């Protein structure tokens, strides 16, 4: 049973000091590695690890080919300004090979998990001589996984999986006793820039969570471009989260006077407080029209654009 530190109990400075000591105790005089995705949780862990271990922590950005446009550069620059060196590791081939031919959502998650922890990290850890991986699992990840709602990719011990046995290294989880609000407060106290906390949520399986059916480099590129349009068009709305989904089915359209059996993009834009329940934002029709115009113009092969008007539940925020 993990003992929660509630928002009322949390004193960021004390929490930071305790976690630094905990990381130092776990890693000893050895080395550790952590993967930085650029999200709030992994960014906070990076700063904690950096403070605890300095150059004995190697921070990597895994380029899995599934991230949004410009992410590796954005993350590297942001941390460069904070004095933390981030190494970008190109692992695109490993991920796309593992995802090839996989259409089932849970199998997709599993392929990503295994590639990340076993293959990519296994190799990095072996090469670097690190014995510990620092990771930003938060209490909500554990709750949702244990409740069987959605398997979060970063939860092992609570499912009876021993990372040492399964992957050959230990996992240290400094954020395990707090939730998102707490992580944000700790991040601010660590001096992370405000833009980081203002970003909308983004899922661990990245754009693979937004491709229905098989994940290929080409299909990811389609959803990546669509995501860029949706984020650009909807960023001023104040909505909780907005995203683009690529459907598996093609539909008949026409282009240049000819039949074009094309792609369908579904746009979702959610009002929500904690992502547990959500309802579609009542976007003005003009905004939807502008979205359709840009998606049709900027994303090759798209002939249909729809807006999701279902609530969560029974929908979920992501599609996979």
**Residues in touch with ligand XMP (CB under 6 A):** 150, 152-153, 201, 203-205, 209, 241, 275, 312, 316-318
* Least Cβ distance, residue 88 to ligand XMP (angstroms): 21
* Least Cβ distance, residue 198 to ligand XMP (angstroms): 15
Distance CA 212, CA 158 (A): 29
Tell me whether residue 167 or residue 240 sits nearer to ligand XMP (CB atom): 240
Tell me whether residue 57 or residue 66 sits nearer to ligand XMP (CB atom): 66
* Least Cβ distance, residue 282 to ligand XMP (angstroms): 19
Which tokens is 125 given? 């850890």
- Collapsed DSSP state (helix, strand, coil) of residue 263: strand
Tell me whether residue 45 or residue 209 sits nearer to ligand XMP (CB atom): 209
Residue burial 122-139, b: 16+ Cβ < 10 Å; e: rest = bebbeeeebbbbbbbbbb
Tell me whether residue 176 or residue 303 sits nearer to ligand XMP (CB atom): 176
Whether residue 68 contacts residue 194, with contact meaning beta carbons closer than 8 Å, is answered with: no
Tell me whether residue 44 or residue 53 sits nearer to ligand XMP (CB atom): 44
Whether residue 194 contacts residue 34, with contact meaning beta carbons closer than 8 Å, is answered with: no
Distance CA 195, CA 270 (A): 20
Whether residue 276 contacts residue 287, with contact meaning beta carbons closer than 8 Å, is answered with: no
Instruction: Identify any residues that bridge with 142 across adjacent strands, giving them in sequence order.
Output: none
* Least Cβ distance, residue 291 to ligand XMP (angstroms): 19
* Least Cβ distance, residue 296 to ligand XMP (angstroms): 25
């Amino acid at each position: 049973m993990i003992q929660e530190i509630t928002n009322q109990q949390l004193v960021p400075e004390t929490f930071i000091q305790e976690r630094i000591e905990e990381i130092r105790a776990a890693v000893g005089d050895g080395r550790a590695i952590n993967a930085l995705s650029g999200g709030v949780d992994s960014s906070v862990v990076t700063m904690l690890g950096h403070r605890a271990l300095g150059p004995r922590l190697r921070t990597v950005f895994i380029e899995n080919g599934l991230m949004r446009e410009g992410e590796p550069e954005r993350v590297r620059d942001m941390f460069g300004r904070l004095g933390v060196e981030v190494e970008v590791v190109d692992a695109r081939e490993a991920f796309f090979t593992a995802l090839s031919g996989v259409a089932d959502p849970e199998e997709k998650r599993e392929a990503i998990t295994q590639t990340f922890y076993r293959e990519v990290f296994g190799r990095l850890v072996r090469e670097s001589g690190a014995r510990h991986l620092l990771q930003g699992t938060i209490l909500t990840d554990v709750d949702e996984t244990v409740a069987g709602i959605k398997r979060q990719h970063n939860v092992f011990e609570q499912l009876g999986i021993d990372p040492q046995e399964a992957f050959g290294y230990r996992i240290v989880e400094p954020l395990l006793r707090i939730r998102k609000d707490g992580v944000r407060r700790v991040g601010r106290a660590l001096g992370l820039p405000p833009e980081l906390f203002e970003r909308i949520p983004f899922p661990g399986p990245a754009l693979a969570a937004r491709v229905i059916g098989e994940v290929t480099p080409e299909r990811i590129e389609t959803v990546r471009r669509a995501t860029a349009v949706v984020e650009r068009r909807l960023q001023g709305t104040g909505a909780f989260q907005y995203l683009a989904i690529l459907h598996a089915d093609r539909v008949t359209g026409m282009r240049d006077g000819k039949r074009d059996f094309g792609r369908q993009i579904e746009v979702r834009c959610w009002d929500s407080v904690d992502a547990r329940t959500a309802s579609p934002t009542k976007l003005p029709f003009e905004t939807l029209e502008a979205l359709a115009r840009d998606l049709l113009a900027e994303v090759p092969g798209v002939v249909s654009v729809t807006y999701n008007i279902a609530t969560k539940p029974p929908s979920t925020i992501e599609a996979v």
